Amino acid sequence: MKRIKMGCTTLSIPAMALGIMRMNQKSVLEAQVAIQAAYDAGINFIDSADIYGGGKSEEIFGQAFSQMQIKREEMFIQSKTGIVPGKRYDFSKEHILHSVDEILERMQLDYLDSLVLHRPDALMDPEEVAEAFDQLQAAGKVRFFGVSNFDTAQFKLLQSCLSQRLMFNQLQFSLKHTGMIDFGMHMNMVDKPSVDRDSQFLDYARLHKVTVQAWSPFQYGMFEGTFIDNDGFPKLNQELQKLADKYEVGKNAIAAAWILRHPANIQMLVGSMNPQHIRDSAKGAKIRLTRQEWYDLYLAAGNYLP
């Protein structure tokens, strides 16, 4: 498995992480098979969130992982907090501290390697978040911190009050969600792709050594479905198959290789619980697409160049 530097540190993490959003749909044994498949492929990074399956995903993970032979220190385990389902976003100190305690209990852990704030809270008080982070770190409950779906200004605002460096920002990025790179190639134009919806965060991340974690790497829309083997995207799947045949892998691996080819050292979150899909996706970390192959996929996905 390809390894990348984590944020501004010298620590290395795998270029892929296993997202356990759908683990609530699996038995403990099935969860163990998925975790083991990822681990065997070099993916020793777990990404979770307190809202996944209403907390059940973390419960299943905790039960499964506690019975496995993998040592805790061999895994990097991350969870997210800040969403109160159907009600609000909540970055209050009280909510953050309480959520972490519940996460640790569900996952049967003594500490998290990383805590990520899930979606921007309009009522965020950066100084209050800083107090929560300091308390969690001092108590040994969380080692590192990050955010998810933050724009550049939001990221800078929070960072300005923290004693810790933010390591991550989780952002949607895939062959069918390319906004972060579209606007740069359509600079000084008035067409739709020229609109910067992400405040140039990818460039900011490269300048300030922040690890971007790409979520929904095989999805189109927002959880509308996968574009892999989807009849609605014939040209893209034809190009994926062509390269899959060349590199002797599956389409998932090629779609993953496309993300990892970007020089920003992006970490991709694999959300599948299917061991075969996990193994095939992991193969993408070993493939370095040529520039032409990367652009051929970009164009096959429905994008165009000015």
DSSP 8-state class, residue 174? B
Say whether pLDDT at 164 is over 80: yes
Which of 110, 171, 159, 162 lies closest to 135, judged by CA? Answer: 162
Q: Are strands 142-148 and 166-172 parallel, antiparallel or unpaired?
A: parallel
Give 95-134 pLDDT, tens digit per residue.
Answer: 999 999 999 999 999 999 999 999 999 999 999 999 999 9
User: Which alpha helices (DSSP H) does 116-225 contain, by range?
Assistant: 126-138, 152-159, 179-185, 201-208
Please report, rounded to a whole number, the percentage of residues in the chain having pLDDT higher than 90: 97
HEC-encoded secondary structure of 216-273: CCCEECCCCEECCCCCCCHHHHHHHHHHHHHHCCCHHHHHHHHHHCCCCCCEEEECCC
User: pLDDT-based confidence at 159, cuts 50/70/90?
Assistant: very high
Token digits of residue 219: 């999805």
Say whether pLDDT at 223 is over 80: no
pLDDT for the residue numbered 222 = 79
Q: Compute φ and ψ for 164, nearest 5 degrees.
A: -100, 150
Say whether pLDDT at 282 is over 90: yes
Query: Considering the chain, what is the average pLDDT of its residues?
Result: 97
Task: Provide mean pLDDT across the span 205-226.
Answer: 93
Task: Provide mean pLDDT across the span 156-174.
Answer: 98
Give 11-69 pLDDT, tens digit per residue.
Answer: 999 999 999 999 999 999 999 999 999 999 999 999 999 999 999 999 999 999 999 99
pLDDT for the residue numbered 212 = 98
Q: Report CA Rg, the chain.
A: 19
Residue 220 known to be catalytic: no
Query: Residue 244 and residue 14: Cα distance in Å, rounded?
Result: 22
pLDDT for the residue numbered 224 = 84
pLDDT for the residue numbered 221 = 84
Report the topology of domain 3-300.
TIM Barrel (3.20.20)
pLDDT for the residue numbered 271 = 94
Active-site option among 39, 52, 204, 298:
52
pLDDT for the residue numbered 295 = 98
